[in-house]
Chains A and B, each alone.
Chain A
Amino acid sequence: MPLLDVRGLCIDYKLQNGYLRAVDSVSFQIDEGEVLGLAGESGSGKSTIAHSILKILPRSTRVSGSILVDGAEVVQMDDRATRAYRWKVVSLVPQGSMNAFDPVITIGSQIVESIRIHSDVDKAAAWRRTRELFSLVGIPESRVKGYPHEFSGGMKQRAAIAMALSLNPKLVILDEPTTALDVVVQRQVIGLLVRLRRELGISFLFVTHDLSVLSEIATNVAVMYAGRLAEISTSEALFASPNHPYSRALIHAIPTLSGNLSLVRSIPGVPANVLNLPPGCKFHPRCPYVFERCRKEEPRLKRTDSGSSVACHLFDGSEKDGGG
């Protein structure tokens, strides 16, 4: 049984005059010990999906479909069950860890808080565990009583990871964990995550717009565009031979340090405006391979012979439905 099983997830945000569909029929799975990279531009819906798993979207948001975590259905869970479930099985390292911590409380206290919400351990034990977590992520234990403004960006990121690990969750969602960091610190954080996965066997859902980061850590990668899945495949397959025109463009947009110097090609056109999506395939206005069917009919995610799943009419030869 997969650890995380998302099926047909649809998420609608409430606006002043109606609802806006941010995520449309997304399905994917994460098995124990795996890392799924969820990639896409801003507004593609990836953060929304991440937040929906922990049910921290605004109350007015409509969520339909199914999210199974360790076999338990999350979407319909009541408030009390939700509070008990949060952080224990799934936790979150948020986007902009700059603000993940309450500025007027020490970081250690906040980690202790997350421990004591869910278990009856006494304070001393909780602080011990907190110190352990600090050393696990590579922060000196003496900093445990420090305030957020006394930590550097990279240290705060590690502290956020420590807090996410405090209850030994099976799945940790990381929302753009490296975006606000410089490349040197990025490297350290990625290294930490790789080590944690190896030592603790945790699964990660790694949300980012930076594909190059995923190549080091992800088992599988799901590429999103305009709230829909464009392609899911293993990390190797995606980087070696991407199928969907959007994935292809993304991969080819990554500059390489070695090898032949070729022109870095950016994707023409502007990112999809979720308020005003075109009919048919949402990517067709920017697609170099567009043909008539793309303008009218939205492609469904289908499995290709190589094992990836792609939502593109170019690959619509197979009978099986993809994505699961």
Chain B
Amino acid sequence: MNRGYLVRRAFYAFVTFLIVLVLNFIIPRVMPGSPVQYFANPKILPSIESHLLTQRFGLDKPLWDQFLLYITGVFQWPPDLGVSYTYYPAPVLSVILNYLPWTLLLVGSATVVTAVLGILVGIWIGSKQGTKTDTVVTSVSLFFWTMPFFWLGAILLWFFSIYLHVFPAGGAESMNLSGMPILDQVADIAEHAFLPALTLTLAAFAGYSLIMRNTIVEELGQDYVTIATAKGLSHRAVLFRHAARNALLPMITLIGLNLGYVVSGALLVEVVFSYPGVGWLTYQAVLSHDYPLLQGLFLVLSVAVIIANFLADVVYSLVDPRIK
């Protein structure tokens, strides 16, 4: 653990957060149309509310004043991100927080499985570089990786749910969930989450396995591997005790970096499976032009990913002895 490194990474995360805040603020304001029209549209909201919102966020004031009010809104507790049109009068943040847990479940479980699967496959393939197995598995991984997440989800949904009736056709839980015993509840949730998670895993694991493979190949070419072999270690021992340990380090950072990609994929997969997470929420928001909600979603998701990346940095600093 090294304090200097962590402080730098924390600072960096904070700067990124600030940039996101500014972006979030600027984008609607450089687009055609006025902030009032987007965030406090009197045609959608009752005129009192429209007026109040305009006041609160200074939507008709000069840019700098607006920015200050916006920042004040964000840095209070609970942060004020405006009011949603579709879920009026609920504030944007509470709407998002309602749907966020399902997405966290989906993305969380998928990330874990994807990383583990990707790393193991990558090690396996890396040690078999150049062979037929390598070519076949790499091609299959590539194929899964290049296809759109959500299309794969749709195919799986059709096949396993509609055709085979093995899994539920959508949603995150059954209607009568609260009436069921705890174990059944867990099973029910797992059942609903299985196909979406599987989709994410299949589509994303190749990202890890291919990079892990290349990293392993590079490590296997290093002198210390030659020496480890010369010392009399078996091929397996060299692979796992030495090469894989070194190759794992960049994987940790990669998991953080890939998170944005996985989250984006998850959003679309949720739509396919009618899974009530923030992706599904985004879909609804787009269809109903709920700009406040869309802005809020961008901010919340970005913050989540920034935090996750910072955590990855923390883990990395614990594991790599060279961090000074």
Do the two chains touch directly in the complex (Cβ atoms below 8 Å apart)? yes
Question: Which A residues lie at the B interface, using CB under 8 A?
Answer: 51, 54, 56, 83-88, 91-92, 94-96, 98-105, 113-114, 117-118, 147, 149, 163
Enumerate chain A residues within 8 angstroms of B233, measured Cβ to Cβ.
Answer: 83, 113, 117
CA–CA, A320 and B186, complex, Å: 87
Contacts A84-B232, A102-B242, A104-B320; is A94 near B227 (CB within 8 Å)?
Answer: yes
- For B322, give the chain A residue with the smallest CB separation: A149
Using a CB-CB cutoff of 8 Å, which residues 228-249 of chain B contact chain A? 228-234, 241-242, 245-246, 249
Enumerate chain A residues within 8 angstroms of B224, measured Cβ to Cβ.
Answer: 99-103
Enumerate chain B residues within 8 angstroms of A85, measured Cβ to Cβ.
Answer: 232
- Closest beta carbon of chain B to A226's beta carbon, Å: 24
A-B contact count (CB 8 A): 68
> Quick one: which of A88, A100, A147 has the most chain B CB within 10 A?
A100
- For A98, give the chain B residue with the smallest CB separation: B223
> Quick one: which of B224, B226, B228, B231 has the most chain A CB within 10 A?
B231
Question: Which residue from B226, B232, B321, B322 sits with its C-beta under 8 Å from A117?
Answer: B232
CA–CA, A113 and B228, complex, Å: 9
**B222 part of interface (Cβ distance < 8 Å):** yes
- For A149, give the chain B residue with the smallest CB separation: B322
Q: Count residues of chain B with CB under 8 A from any CB of chain A.
A: 20
Question: Which B residues lie at the A interface, using CB under 8 A?
Answer: 222-224, 226-234, 241-242, 245-246, 249, 320-322
Instruction: Evaluate contact between A54 and B230: CB separation under 8 angstroms.
Output: yes
Instruction: Evaluate contact between B322 and A87: CB separation under 8 angstroms.
Output: no
> Which secondary structure dominates where chain B touches chain A?
helix
Listed A/B pairs (9) with beta-carbon separation below 8 Å: A54-B230, A83-B234, A86-B232, A100-B224, A101-B224, A101-B227, A104-B322, A105-B242, A105-B245
CA–CA, A100 and B230, complex, Å: 11
Enumerate chain A residues within 8 angstroms of B322, measured Cβ to Cβ.
Answer: 103-104, 147, 149
CA–CA, A95 and B227, complex, Å: 10
Enumerate chain B residues within 8 angstroms of A100, measured Cβ to Cβ.
Answer: 223-224, 227
Instruction: Evaluate contact between A87 and B321: CB separation under 8 angstroms.
Output: no
Given contacts A103-B322, A104-B246, A113-B231, 7 further A-B contacts (CB under 8 A): A51-B226, A54-B230, A83-B233, A91-B231, A100-B223, A105-B245, A117-B231
Instruction: Evaluate contact between B242 and A56: CB separation under 8 angstroms.
Output: no
Enumerate chain B residues within 8 angstroms of A87, measured Cβ to Cβ.
Answer: 230-232
> Quick one: which of A51, A85, A99, A147 has the most chain B CB within 10 A?
A99
CA–CA, A96 and B226, complex, Å: 12
Enumerate chain A residues within 8 angstroms of B228, measured Cβ to Cβ.
Answer: 102
- For A106, give the chain B residue with the smallest CB separation: B321
CA–CA, A118 and B241, complex, Å: 17
Instruction: Evaluate contact between B227 and A92: CB separation under 8 angstroms.
Output: yes
Enumerate chain B residues within 8 angstroms of A92, measured Cβ to Cβ.
Answer: 227, 230
Enumerate chain A residues within 8 angstroms of B232, measured Cβ to Cβ.
Answer: 83-88, 114, 117-118
